[in-house]
Amino acid sequence: MQSRRIPRGHNLLPGTRHHGWVRVKLSGRLAELGFGDLDSYLLDRYRDKGWRVLDLQAELGCGRGLVRTAVLRLGIMRRHR
């Protein structure tokens, strides 16, 4: 089985140090859902449609930390009442 790698210099989540296989898996899942990158996915699902972080991580098949970090980076984290 051949491993797919992200080209050097490409970073799905700027400022984070995720393993290459996580980025490849996430990129593939985002493409299946019709999104080019994580930012556009989060802006659509989290900001515009009001999805919860738990729903996002379930759809993407990733951990809460990755989604939460990206939401914080984008500055769209909602406050609890």
Tens place of pLDDT per residue across the chain (81 aa)? 555 555 555 555 555 555 677 788 899 999 999 999 999 999 999 999 999 999 999 999 988 889 999 999 999 998 865
User: Measured between alpha carbons, how far is 58 from 73 in angstroms, rounded to an integer?
Assistant: 20
* Tens digits of residue pLDDT in 34-55: 999 999 999 999 999 999 999 9
pLDDT for res 78: 87
User: Measured between alpha carbons, how far is 51 from 47 in angstroms, rounded to an integer?
Assistant: 8
pLDDT for res 79: 81
